[in-house]
Structure 1
Amino acid sequence: MIGYITIGVRDIAKAKSFYAELLADLGASVLMEMDRIAFIGKSMDQPMLAVCVPYNEADPHPGNGNMFAINAGSKENVDAMYQKAISLGATCDGEPGQRIPDMFYGAYVLDADGNKMAFYVFG
């Protein structure tokens, strides 16, 4: 159902590099790019993440309560993706841990523009 999610960024080159490197271990890469937008994913027919300088060129504004989540596939991968995001310059918004007993394990970070993302696994 979801084709792609777009997040606003200030520096397209920096954001493209951050997300391409962060998601590479999941098989993602930059699939398409233009002047102010880049699409990152596994293929054009699967959900993608787009990083984009806003059309009006004003600063992006992450929404309070907005977040996108990446299924890491395992608790170990949640931990690894969290650590990788931090090493690439993200800030912690919730260390890896069990959130719902036996159901949801997750970690949360903010990118350089304040966009919130979760790495998670159910089960």
Structure 2
Amino acid sequence: MIAYVTVGANDIARAKEFYSTILPALGYGLEEGPEGLSYALPAVPGQSPVSPDFYVKPTFDGHAASAGNGSMVAFEARNQKQVRTLHAAALAAGGSCEGPPGFRAAYGPRFYVGYLRDPQGNKIALFSSNPNEPGRDG
């Protein structure tokens, strides 16, 4: 199980504007600290925390942050409408489009996805495969 994912950012304020348009709508809470942003799903008292957490931090070594070629973080939305809404909000918050929301022929018939780059260049996917919604072929 993945416990957490961290992406680097040179401009934490821009990163906060971008990620705060997506992650709270998916249930993540935000804690800010001197070391950056920590987004986590709420823990139910008496139960283990829900993973993974998502961190946006300056680099540990002090060098400029850079996006990983071939790296991507995917967040699951509740439905296709939420994918579209969050994709548009993230673009308005400084992201760039890497592929508009829609079905892709290479994936299953219910996999609805939109791709973005955050202001730092990290690739993000927002997807839904809700079985209660129409699929690519219907």
Same fold (TM over 0.5): yes
Do structure 1's residue 104 and structure 2's residue 111 form an aligned pair? yes
Corresponding residue of 2:94: 89
Residues 77-86 or 96-105, more deviating:
96-105
Summarize deviations over 1:25-65 as a string: whole Å, max 9, x none: 2222213x332222112236122110010012211121111
Runs of 5+ unmatched residues, structure 1:
none
Preserved CA contact (<8 Å) 1:16 1:30: no
Preserved CA contact (<8 Å) 1:20 1:29: no
Do structure 1's residue 36 and structure 2's residue 53 form an aligned pair? no
Which one-letter code corresponds to 1:4 in the other structure?
A: Y
Q: Which of 55, 60, 66 lines up with 1:55 in the alignment?
A: 60
Residues 54-63 or 34-43, more deviating:
34-43
Corresponding residue of 2:123: 116
SS, match of residue 112 in structure 2: strand
Which one-letter code corresponds to 2:89 in the other structure?
A: K
Preserved CA contact (<8 Å) 1:54 1:60: yes
Preserved CA contact (<8 Å) 2:21 2:90: no
CA–CA distance in 2 between the matches of 1:10 and 1:64?
Answer: 17
CA–CA distance in 2 between the matches of 1:68 and 1:23?
Answer: 12
The CA deviation at 1:90 is 0.4
Runs of 5+ unmatched residues, structure 2:
44-48, 132-138
Instruction: Calculate the TM-score normalised by the size of structure 1.
Output: 0.89
Residues 40-49 or 74-83, more deviating:
40-49
Which one-letter code corresponds to 1:114 in the other structure?
A: G
Which one-letter code corresponds to 1:24 in the other structure?
A: P
Bigger helix share: 1
